[in-house]
Amino acid sequence: MTAQLISGKELSQEKRVEMKSDVEELKRKGITPGLAVIIVGHDPASQTYVRGKQRACEEVGIHSLLIELEEDTKEEELLAKIDELNVDEAIDGILVQLPLPSQINEQAVIEKISPAKDVDGFHPINIGRMMTGQVCFLPCTPHGIVEMVKSQQIELEGKHVVVVGRSNIVGKPVGQLFLNENATVTYCHSRTNDLKQYTTQADILIAAAGKQHLIRGEHIKAGATVIDVGIHRLDNGKLTGDVNFDEAREKAAYITPVPGGVGPMTITMLLHNTILSAKRSRL
């Protein structure tokens, strides 16, 4: 058995076609969704991500505002800039590219963004609403993962989902989203004893530990769905994930590639949240 690929790239393209017509419909009503992205400093990886977000906005017709601040920007300057954007009616979503320089408190920045414009889904109010099954902005990567699994018509109710990783951005929220879909969820992490004991029970295995090739063929139940959130650069310049792809694809029924898997869906769900924000506040 060789696993069928779940292409985030293809699914993203399908969703962006729908979003483009959504945005055109909003523009006919005089509404142009707007996303403000703030980047502090000159981190090359962050700049690459930001360019990708800008291109995606352009593709679907969202107004994109890029605010570039110097590496030595003080925390109060950044918070003041967020305050301005919170009351700017042309801006529906605010995103501050992480990581931030050491003089800035990341949590203070996340909490300064209005929950109504928190299109990353990181504000404690949106996280609390997600935990209790209320209407909120869902965090982009976890939401994208659920959409990818659903795109294959995989039944989620009653399935055993094992999440390897417990970050606030992916691991914890993705487990909660599957729980909201009536799956049974197990979390594993760096302190878990005998990882394989848990991962081999997974109908859906999500690798989000940030550790290259942590998940090998032996960790996977035959016929499982494997979602690889990790991204690492090999010595030869190629990208790979938290999963040993060659081994995993011999055991799994479905698998996401790296690159071209989860990554494109993260940006697509950011666009989704920005359009949703415009509809909620301006229609």
How buried is residue 30: exposed, middle or buried, by Cβ count under 10 Å (0-12/13-18/19+)? exposed
Q: Which tokens go with 170?
A: 């992916």
Find how far residue 43's CA is from the centre of its chain: 20
How many other C-beta atoms lie within 10 A of the C-beta of residue 153? 6
The residue assigned the tokens 């109908």 is: 203
Q: Are 229 and 170 in contact (CB under 8 A)?
A: yes
Under DSSP, the state recorded for 218 is G
Q: Hey, is 133 helix, strand or coil?
A: coil
Q: Which residues are catalytic?
A: 53, 97, 120
The DSSP secondary-structure symbol of 219 reads G
Cross-strand partners of 232:
240
Q: What Rg value do the Cα atoms of the chain yield, rounded?
A: 19
C-alpha triplet 230, 233, 235: angle, nearest 5° = 145
CB 209 within 8 A of CB 164: yes
Task: Say if strands 254-255 and 239-240 run parallel, antiparallel, or are unpaired.
Answer: unpaired
Query: Of the candidates 141, 152, 162, which has an alpha carbon nearest to the alpha carbon of residue 253?
Result: 152
Tokens for 239, please give them: 């990208």
